[in-house]
Amino acid sequence: MTRARRTILRVTGAATFALLSAACGAGKDGGPGPAVPGPLKITAGYREPPRVLSGHRCLRLADGRVAVVSVGRGSGQLILQASWTSSEPVLDSLCRREDVVLLLRDGRVVLRSFDARGTGLERPYNDFTEGGVGFEAKGGSRLAEVVGREYAIVCVMGGGEVRCPRDMKAIYGELEAYGPLRNLYAQGRAALLEDGRFVLGGPGRRSNQILLDRVVRVSVADFGFNNIVGCLVRDDASVWCWGRNDFGQLGDGTRERHDNPVRVVGLPRVVDVSTSGEHACAIDEEGDVWCWGRSKVGETGEAGKEATEKREVCPIDEAATEQAREEAAANPPCESPAKPGPLVEEANRVRRVDDACGRLGWTPERARKNVTPIRKRVPGCVMPDELHEGHPVPVKIDEVEDAVAIEAMPGRTWAVRRDGVIVMWGADAKDGAPRMQAFPVVNGAAASPSSR
């Protein structure tokens, strides 16, 4: 049967995040730094189930398995809880709003649904397969969701080919003309080719479809209606982003939209990047984390909050402002009679007949006061109408070191250190402040990023 169309908002890469094990542990708030006490059993000490704050997450384990976890609060503490872990390693997984789809090593594609009550039984992924017999794609290595007008289909990528339980070439077919596809993004309307080129298609974009070449990592946030924000890592370890830029999420030092990639400024050599569409974070070759963009709930850390607050408004250009005032005083927006008419009294107000300026209450003094000060653009300043939240230049997250994986999600950021500690900040941190919450995990050390 046709599955209900999934939510439009999709952050590629949020489906998997290599860092967790079945025996998840949680520690108390580690304060501003990542130091935490020893692991605790998540269910210990709690009399009632935690209230889920961020919904379910699908995390890739160090041994190749997948866990469905949630972040909640119980007894005044933030906890990380695993509700289900796959029984065997998988090649890839795709976490959707109501289920997780797994690509098993034998080529089978299976599905498990989940809700607030837990995770359902494993069953074959049988969307649109005849008789509901399931879908197999041996030789595949990645999963990608392709969204049509009425439904969303999970397809298998591998060997430059796309295999779906139903023909979806109407969505991604134009991208295949550029060469074999390595992976699909943005509901099947963007692709990373096997030769390292990144191609963006879809309605309304018939030119400049090849955005960039020599691409090794991709992260895309799709808001629907061809509204895509993406970041790419090239083989020279540089980061390039494109799309809307109202929060500075492109990291180019401006807030101007760019439909073609622009290079993120101020970054060292980078190995991974992740974008939520409103903010982005990257890991450099030393394991340090850098973030830029929206900082409303601390998703870019304490440094991002400080960078947002320290922005200076551009200074007033006194000479240009005075000139504008003189011009306003000398050029009234109304006409006065050539010959003064008789005075008339109206509601305790005296004016001359046909005196338009009098009716408007215009005077040269008032005109001067109504002129908005003209400001000069100098390096590092912003205009008053540009005082949006966020910061368009990356800042270093000093509280996180030796990171091996990063995931930027709307309002929150998760990272994993090489020693197997999950560090999260933003909406998942205590009281929504940009303080770090750290959780030691088992088998989390030396985890690798997802298949973005």
* Mean pLDDT within 58-71: 77
* Mean pLDDT within 112-141: 74
> 136 vs 348, which has greater pLDDT?
136
What integer best gives the mean pLDDT of the chain?
Answer: 75
Q: What is the pLDDT of residue 48?
A: 40
Q: What is the pLDDT of residue 432?
A: 52
What share of the chain has pLDDT > 90, as a percent? 26
In 243-331, which ranges are continuous DSSP H helix?
301-309, 318-330
The pTM of this model reads 0.72
Q: How far from chain centre, in Å, is Cα 270?
A: 18
How would you classify residue 372: left for phi > 0, otherwise alpha for psi between -120 and 50, otherwise beta?
beta
d(CA 147, CA 90): 23
Domain extent listing, the chain: 10-44+51-311+393-440, 316-374
Q: Which CATH architecture has domain 10-44+51-311+393-440?
A: 7 Propeller (2.130)
pLDDT tens digit string along 186-231? 888 899 999 999 998 754 555 658 778 999 999 999 876 668 899 9
Q: What is the pLDDT of residue 205?
A: 53
Instruction: State how far the alpha carbon of 288 is from the alpha carbons of 211, 295, 393, 396, 425, in Å.
Output: 28, 19, 16, 7, 15
DSSP SS3 for 330: helix
pLDDT tens digit string along 387-433? 667 899 999 998 888 998 898 988 889 888 887 778 888 887 765 55
pLDDT tens digit string along 322-335? 999 999 888 877 76
